[in-house]
C-alpha cells in the first residue's frame, strides 16, 4: 500500500510545543499509519490523502516557520510507532520524565518518575529551559538548600512538570498559569501522578496574597517578563533562606535579567547552561 509521508522540520526552540501540538492533533482522530521523530524532525505517514493535506495546511497556518513537505511512501508495519516521539528524559540521578504509556519499573530506571501526558501545554521535559529547571530542583534538594517540607511557587506551570518534581520530593506548593489549557493539563498530570500537594490556579503573581512567601520559586518564563516582574517575584521569596530559579533566558539576555535581581539586593546567582539557554539560581 502507498502511504503519504509528511515531513516537518521545526526550530529547536519549538520542539517541545510542537510535540504537544502533534500529540493533540493525532488524538483528535486522524488515521495515522505510523510516525517517527528525532528531536526537531517529525515524519508522519497517512493512508488518506485528505488527512495528510489537513496536517500540512494546519502546520503551514500555525507554524509558518516550520519546513513541511509531502511525498509518497511504500507501507511497512508500524503499529503505534508515533509514540516514538516521546522518549524518556533523564534528569541527573533524580528524575525520569516519561509519557504515561511507559512503565516506571522498567523505564524510570529507579529514578523518580514524572508522568507527563503530552498535550498543548509547554513542558514535556525535552526543552532545555525545562530540563535546566528540573536539574536545579534536583541539585537544590541534593545540597539540602530546600528541604522536603519546603513550600514552592511554580510560576508559569505549563504542563505542571516543575511543580510535579517538587511535589514528588515531598514539597507543598502553588502552580500558576495564565493559560487555561496549561491549567487543565497541569491538573491532569497531577492526577496522573497521584500528586495532591499542589494547588493549581489560573492567573499571574497578582492573584497571590500580598506578603505570602515561598521557600522555593521557579519561573520558566522569558527574559522580558522576568525583568518586568522582578520586584513582585522577589516579594514572594522567603528571605533569608529562600531559593529562586529563573529560566527561559537566552545567553545574551542573561546579564540583563541578572542585573534586575541584583538591583533588588540578591547576590550573584549560579548559572546552569544548556545550548543557548541559561538558568539563574539563587540559594543560600
Ligand atoms: C515556557 S512555559 C514553562 C512551562 C513549564 N513550567 C516548564 O518549565 O516546562 C511558560 C508558561 O508560563 C505561562 N506564563 C507566561 N507568563 C505568565 C505569567 N505572567 N504568569 C503566569 N504564567 C505565565 C505560559 O502560559 C506558559 O504556560
Mind listing the pLDDT tens digit for each residue in 184-199? 999 999 999 999 999 9
- By DSSP bridging, strand 172-177 and strand 151-155 are parallel
Number of alpha carbons in the 13 Å side-chain half-sphere of residue 263: 11
More confident residue, 80 or 283: 283
**Could you tell me the fold of the domain covering 127-282?**
Rossmann fold (3.40.50)
pLDDT at 72 over 90: no
Residue 69 DSSP class:
E
Binned at pLDDT 50, 70 and 90, residue 19 comes out as confident
Binned at pLDDT 50, 70 and 90, residue 75 comes out as low
**Residue 23 beta carbon below 6 angstroms from any ligand 1 atom:** no
β strands within 10-108, DSSP E: 32-38, 41-46, 67-74, 89-91, 95-98
Binned at pLDDT 50, 70 and 90, residue 79 comes out as very low
Query: From CA 153, how far away is CA 148, in angstroms rounded?
Result: 14
**Residue 155 beta carbon below 6 angstroms from any ligand 1 atom:** yes
Residue pLDDT, tens place only, 186-245: 999 999 999 999 999 999 999 999 999 999 999 999 899 999 999 999 999 999 999 999
In percent, the amount of the chain with pLDDT more than 90 equals 58
- For the chain, give the mean pLDDT: 88
pLDDT at 74: 65
Residue 241 CA to ligand 1 center (angstroms) comes to 25
pLDDT at 180 over 70: yes
Outline which parts of the chain fall under CATH 3.40.50.150: 127-282
**Residue 182 beta carbon below 6 angstroms from any ligand 1 atom:** yes
- For domain 2-84, the question of CATH label 3.30.70.860 is answered with yes
Residue 156 is labelled as binding a ligand? yes
Q: Using an 8 Å Cβ cutoff, are 247 and 272 in contact?
A: no
**Residue 225 beta carbon below 6 angstroms from any ligand 1 atom:** yes
Sheet holding 41-46, edge to edge: 32-38, 41-46, 2-9, 67-74
Residue 220 is labelled as binding a ligand? yes
Q: Give the mean model confidence (pLDDT) for residues 246-265.
A: 96
Binned at pLDDT 50, 70 and 90, residue 27 comes out as low
Outline which parts of the chain fall under CATH 3.30.70.860: 2-84
**Residue 49 zone, left/alpha/beta (φ > 0; ψ -120 to 50; rest):** alpha
CA nearest to 284, candidates 225, 239, 222:
239
Amino acid at each position: 500500500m502507498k502511504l503519504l509521508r509528511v515531513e516537518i522540520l521545526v526550530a529547536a526552540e519549538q520542539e517541545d510545543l510542537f510535540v504537544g501540538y502533534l500529540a493533540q492533533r493525532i488524538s483528535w482522530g486522524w488515521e495515522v499509519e505510523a510516525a517517527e521523530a528525532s528531536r526537531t524532525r517529525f515524519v508522519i505517514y497517512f493512508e488518506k490523502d485528505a488527512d495528510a493535506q489537513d496536517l500540512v495546511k494546519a502546520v503551514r497556518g500555525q507554524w509558518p516557520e516550520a519546513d513541511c513537505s509531502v511525498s509518497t511512501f511504500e507501507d511497512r508495519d508500524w503499529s503505534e510507532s508515533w509514540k516514538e516521539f516521546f522518549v524518556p528524559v533523564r534528569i541527573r540521578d533524580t528524575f525520569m520524565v516519561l509519557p504515561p504509556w511507559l512503565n516506571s519499573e522498567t523505564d524510570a530506571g529507579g529514578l523518580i518518575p514524572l508522568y507527563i501526558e503530552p498535550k498543548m501545554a509547554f513542558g514535556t521535559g525535552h526543552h532545555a529551559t525545562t530540563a535546566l529547571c528540573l536539574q536545579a530542583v534536583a541539585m537544590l534538594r541534593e545540597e539540602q538548600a530546600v528541604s522536603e517540607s519546603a513550600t514552592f511557587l511554580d510560576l508559569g506551570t505549563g504542563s505542571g512538570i516543575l511543580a510535579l518534581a517538587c511535589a514528588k520530593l515531598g514539597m507543598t506548593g502553588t502552580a500558576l498559569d495564565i493559560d487555561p489549557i496549561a491549567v487543565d493539563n497541569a491538573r491532569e498530570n497531577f492526577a496522573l501522578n497521584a500528586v495532591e500537594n499542589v494547588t493549581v490556579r489560573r492567573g499571574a503573581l497578582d492573584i497571590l496574597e500580598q506578603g505570602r512567601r515561598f521557600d522555593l520559586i521557579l519561573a520558566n518564563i522569558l527574559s522580558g517578563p522576568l525583568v518586568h516582574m522582578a520586584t513582585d517575584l522577589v516579594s514572594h521569596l522567603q528571605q533569608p533562606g529562600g531559593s529562586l530559579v529563573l529560566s527561559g533566558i537566552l545567553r545574551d539576555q542573561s546579564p540583563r535579567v541578572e542585573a534586575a535581581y541584583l538591583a533588588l539586593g540578591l547576590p550573584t546567582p549560579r548559572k546552569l547552561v544548556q545550548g543557548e539557554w541559561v538558568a539563574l539560581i539563587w540559594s543560600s
